[in-house]
């Protein structure tokens, strides 16, 4: 067929810091999805976007074109409002697991389309697949039925949702353009807008264990995504949250599921509870349910009840014993004092090397692998006492994990450190 444009036109325009017109953007996404633009041409365009950026109009049109490449879902038939959460990923970030049933227990349906981990950031689906029998793939009708009956679903996005994004993300992953903020924002938001939720709360991580290392970059990404959601008619709010230190006391798959269950039972680490409640309150406020305090639903067991029903509805056994790694070893403190620093990235890479994550999409993961922390910054530690326990089914992995952890922490002379604020900023549509 005769093409309306040439890919080189778009590449040259962005190379020369020009804005792409709407019709060229729409053609680029459509042509790449159907194979009329070669990978090397799209890679060149993605690099030009990484280096020179895009305007708000360009990003909005790019996102709309990716949505138009596939189907759009609708939850209009549900008897309750919907709200979703997206995290940009971090170490020990199991927040989706307690959050979805908690918000559902408060009367708001949560259609949580999640992904798998790659590298040091764990994937929600990988974590839940450590529950015996649980399945990630649901049809759209199964998802709707579960949302009406249970109120919460965590599942994989269907192949029909923004297929242009799936193809482009795979290309960005191997061409050094994953970090392009316009492309990150459009990738996330094309799927979330196409999903059809009425409210979206974004958890944008900042720090060593996050993709965004600085507050400035995280703020730019958050603002871009909030603008995209707002322009599409979705009530969108972003929280910038600290990822210098791992969340909670575990990084792994079954380890994080167990910690999430502890939160749903009314316990769990303070930081996981704090962030779960902060995000739940944002989701409920956006859905108009300011009359309910989600802390009550944690305390009285309603959130745990929804968790059990959600797991069972997807074939899982909520009472089953979770997998445990065959081998463990401990990493000890070398001196007395106060733990003043624990690097999230190094802990995440150690968990990955123990088998909790994957380097390629097709790699398997170990359900029981990962890291259990015995101290967080601010805690007093003793020489010869464990700082963390490493878990794996393949003990030959311990050496590389321990090498990764070299220099991952600092123990001070005994002076207490000031607690860090977990939620650093809030960005909403009415802020400039």
pLDDT tens for each residue of 31-59:
999 999 999 999 999 999 999 999 999 99
Give CA angle at 14 (13, 18), nearest 5°.
Answer: 65
* Predicted pLDDT at 136: 93
For residue 177, count other CB atoms closer than 10 A to its CB. Answer: 23
Bridge partners (DSSP) of residue 251 are 371
CA–CA distance, 75 with 374 (Å, rounded to integer): 43
398 membership: H or E segment, kind and range: helix 398-404
What's the chain's length in residues?
A: 432
Instruction: Return the domain boundaries, the chain.
Output: 84-157+197-320, 327-412
Q: Pick from 164, 143, 37, 153: which is nearest to 103 by CA?
A: 153
* Packing angle of the helix pair 22-33, 163-173 (nearest 10 deg): 80
Structural Rg of the chain based on CA atoms:
22
CA–CA distance, 16 with 424 (Å, rounded to integer): 36
- The pLDDT tens digits along the chain (432 residues) read 677 889 999 999 999 999 999 999 999 999 999 999 999 999 999 999 999 999 999 999 999 999 999 999 999 999 999 999 999 989 999 999 999 999 999 999 999 988 776 666 668 999 999 999 999 999 999 999 999 999 999 998 877 888 898 899 888 878 888 889 999 999 999 999 999 999 999 999 999 998 899 999 999 999 999 999 999 999 999 999 999 999 999 999 999 999 999 999 999 999 999 999 999 999 999 999 999 999 999 999 999 999 999 999 999 999 999 999 999 999 999 999 999 999 999 999 999 999 998 776 677 889 999 999 999 999 999 999 999 999 999 999 999 999 999 999 999 986 777 777 899 999 998 754
Query: What is the tens place of the pLDDT at every residue in 88-109?
Result: 989 999 999 999 999 999 999 9
CA–CA distance, 196 with 144 (Å, rounded to integer): 12
Q: Which residues are identified as catalytic?
A: 86, 165, 172, 187, 191
For residue 148, count other CB atoms closer than 10 A to its CB. Answer: 14
30 membership: H or E segment, kind and range: helix 22-33
CA–CA distance, 198 with 85 (Å, rounded to integer): 11
Whether the domain at 84-157+197-320 and the domain at 327-412 fall into the same CATH topology: no
CA–CA distance, 34 with 310 (Å, rounded to integer): 37
Name the CATH architecture for the domain at 327-412: Alpha-Beta Complex (3.90)
Residues 343, 179, 280, 124: what is their CA dihedral angle, to the nearest 10 degrees? -80
Provide the whole-model pTM.
0.93
Cβ proximity of 221 and 88 under 8 Å: yes
Cβ proximity of 7 and 38 under 8 Å: yes
Query: Does the domain at residues 84-157+197-320 carry the CATH identifier 3.40.1030.10?
Result: yes
Three-class secondary structure of residue 330 per DSSP: strand
* Predicted pLDDT at 363: 76
Structure-token pair, residue 364: 């398997």
* Predicted pLDDT at 121: 66
Cβ proximity of 178 and 43 under 8 Å: no
* Predicted pLDDT at 1: 61
For residue 159, count other CB atoms closer than 10 A to its CB. Answer: 11
CA–CA distance, 407 with 404 (Å, rounded to integer): 8
């Amino acid at each position: 067929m005769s093409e309306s444009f040439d890919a080189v036109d778009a590449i040259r325009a962005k190379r020369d810091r020009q804005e792409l017109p709407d019709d060229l953007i729409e053609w680029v996404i459509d042509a790449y999805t159907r194979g009329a633009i070669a990978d090397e041409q799209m890679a060149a365009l993605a690099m030009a976007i990484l280096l020179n950026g895009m305007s708000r109009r360009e990003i909005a049109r790019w996102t709309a074109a990716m949505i138009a490449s596939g189907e759009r879902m609708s939850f209009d038939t549900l008897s309750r409002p919907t709200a979703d959460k997206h995290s940009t990923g971090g170490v020990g970030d199991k927040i989706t697991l307690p959050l979805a049933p908690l918000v559902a227990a408060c009367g708001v349906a949560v259609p949580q389309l999640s992904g798998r981990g790659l590298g040091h950031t764990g994937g929600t689906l990988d974590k839940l697949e450590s529950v015996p029998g649980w399945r990630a793939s649901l049809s759209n009708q199964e998802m709707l039925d579960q949302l009406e009956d249970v109120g919460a679903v965590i599942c994989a996005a269907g192949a029909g949702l923004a297929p242009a994004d799936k193809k482009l993300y795979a290309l960005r992953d191997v061409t050094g353009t994953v970090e392009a903020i316009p492309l990150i924002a459009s990738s996330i938001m094309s799927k979330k807008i196409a999903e059809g939720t009425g409210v979206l709360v974004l958890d944008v991580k900042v720090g060593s264990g996050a993709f965004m290392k600085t507050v400035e970059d995280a703020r730019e990404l958050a603002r871009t995504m909030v603008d995209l959601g707002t322009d599409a008619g979705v009530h969108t709010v972003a929280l910038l949250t600290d990822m210098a230190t791992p969340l909670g006391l575990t990084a792994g798959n079954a380890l994080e599921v167990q910690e999430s269950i502890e939160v749903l039972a009314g316990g769990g680490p303070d930081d996981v509870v704090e962030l779960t409640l902060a995000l739940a309150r944002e989701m409920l406020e956006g859905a108009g349910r300011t009359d309910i305090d989600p802390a009550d639903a944690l305390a009285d067991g309603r959130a745990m009840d929804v968790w059990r029903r959600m797991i069972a509805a997807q074939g899982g056994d909520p009472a089953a014993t979770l997998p445990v790694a065959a081998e463990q070893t401990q990493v000890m403190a070398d001196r007395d004092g106060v733990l003043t620093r624990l690097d999230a990235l190094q802990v995440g890479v150690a968990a990955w090397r123990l088998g909790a994550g994957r380097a390629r999409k097709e790699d398997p993961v170990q359900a029981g692998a990962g890291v259990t922390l015995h101290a967080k910054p601010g805690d007093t530690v003793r020489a010869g006492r464990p700082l963390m326990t490493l878990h794996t089914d393949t003990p030959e992995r311990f050496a590389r994990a321990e090498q990764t952890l070299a220099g991952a922490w600092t123990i001070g002379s005994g002076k207490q450190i000031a607690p860090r604020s977990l939620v650093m900023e809030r960005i909403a549509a009415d802020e400039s």
